Amino acid sequence: MGLEIGIIGLPNVGKSTLFNALTKLQVPAANYPFCTIEPNQGIVPIPDPRLEKIAQVTRPETLTGAAIEFVDIAGLVKGASEGEGLGNQFLSHIRQVHALAHVVRVFEDDDVVSSTGKVDPIGDIEIIDLELVLADLQTVEKRIERTTRMLKTGERAFRDELDLLNQYKETLEKGIPLRRTDLQQIADLPLLTFKPVMYIANVSEADPAGGDVLKKWAEAEQAEVLNVCAEFESELAQLEPDEAALFLDEMGMDEPALHRVIRAGLRLLDLITFYTIKGPETRSWIIPRGTLAPQAAGQIHSDMERGFIRAEVVSWDVLVQEGSFSACREKGLQRVEGKDYPVADGDVILFRFNV
């Protein structure tokens, strides 16, 4: 789908280490600011036990899972909105992603220099938020000038937009990110502080719950906080699957913490998964919640959306229980849905269409 989550944070908080673990790519993770200048991008497979169970039934020649893209964006510093530390370039990278994973340093380590001179999770978040707020304020002020000029046309839409822009400005001048408000977003005005955020607390192995200090802060914007030891996860990601499974078992973990990060990313973007099993391939697809059946078909091929006739639907667990799509059809467990059907999470769908 081309949906991207940007990994942001101050320098030396563990962004690139987390990215390495997510993607198993070896990007630089040196102990100094601006090691990462151009954003590194990686396609990350989505762990999906449901897909594996479906495959046990369908026994496909090819099993293809959905993936999500993470972008490692260089560390912002105080003054980024004024260009400090290549700030304008970094802010433009943030503008291009759909959501943000804000990595916050919680661990203590004298060998890893803190850009602020101390470990202060809430203070670090406030620095980043302020830079995004200031950048948005510049954008809003420019838009206000343009919209004010357009008032002479007499169109009510420009008056309504100006009212909303002034609310943006008032909120931003108080230092409040727009995601913490109920204000409507102007579609063609890509503001940074409207982007949904989850917080990843980079904790130490000695204090795996250290990120809980962020939870009260995050509640104000209904954001998730995930405790992750990025260094541990990065080392784990380099092991062979069998070795990693044994190591997790020894640590009393049923899965890498990174699986929780990926699932949280899906929730952050409000994505759901549906499955197709026709032919030699069984595959999962991710789409925004509320997507109608023809548009879901269009994710597979544009011809399927244009020629959509109907969707034959079975829930994934029913398919696994019955053993085949035909068995579900014979027992009346298959549903036939039309153009107005919003695809549900876990649907297995056979699309019928005209070529």
CATH number at residue 88: 3.40.50.300
Task: Identify whether residues 304 and 255 lie together within a single domain.
Answer: no
Task: Tell me: do 296 and 259 sit in the same domain.
Answer: no
Provide the β-strand partners of residue 276: 283
Q: Are 174 and 321 part of one and the same domain?
A: no
Contact present, 260 and 199 (Cβ < 8 Å)? no
Q: Which one of 268, 301, 318 terminates a domain?
A: 268
Q: Are residues 52 and 138 in the same domain?
A: yes
Judged on CB neighbours under 10 Å (0-12, 13-18, 19+), 274 is buried
From 268, 298, 322, give the residue that closes a domain: 268
- The answer to whether residues 190 and 250 belong to one domain is yes
CB 282 within 8 A of CB 58: yes
Q: What domain range includes position 137?
A: 4-268
Do 48 and 130 touch, CB atoms closer than 8 A? no
**Confidence (pLDDT) at 332:** 95
Same domain, 222 and 294: no
pLDDT value, residue 109? 65
Asked if residue 277 is part of any domain, the answer here is: no
Residue 144 C-alpha from the chain's centroid: 30
In a domain, 174, yes or no: yes
Q: What is the pLDDT of residue 50?
A: 95
- For residue 117, being part of any structural domain is answered with yes
Q: Residue 204 carries which DSSP code?
A: B
Q: Answer yes or no: do 247 and 316 share one domain.
A: no
Low-confidence ranges of the chain (pLDDT < 50): 25-37, 85-87
CA–CA gap between residue 37 and residue 45 (Å, rounded): 25
* Together in a domain, 262 and 119: yes
How many domains in the chain? Answer: 2
- Measured between alpha carbons, how far is residue 181 from residues 150, 177, 194, 289 in Å? 27, 8, 9, 22
Q: Which two tokens stand for residue 174?
A: 């108080």
Query: What was the pLDDT predicted at 152?
Result: 86
**Closest alpha carbon to 200 in 232, 234, 223, 176:** 223
SS3 label, residue 279: coil
Supply the DSSP symbol for 303.
H
| CATH number of 349's domain | 3.10.20.30
Q: 190 and 78 share a domain?
A: yes
15, two tokens: 């962004």
Structure tokens at 238: 């380099």
Q: How far apart are CA 215 and CA 228, in angstroms?
A: 14
Specify whether 222 is located in the same domain as 84. yes
One domain for residues 170 and 241:
yes
Same domain assignment for residues 151 and 263: yes
The predicted structure's pLDDT at residue 116? 60
Domain-located, residue 279: no
Residue 208 falls within a domain, yes or no?
A: yes
243 burial type by CB count under 10 A (0-12 exposed, 13-18 middle, 19+ buried): exposed
pLDDT value at position 75?
66
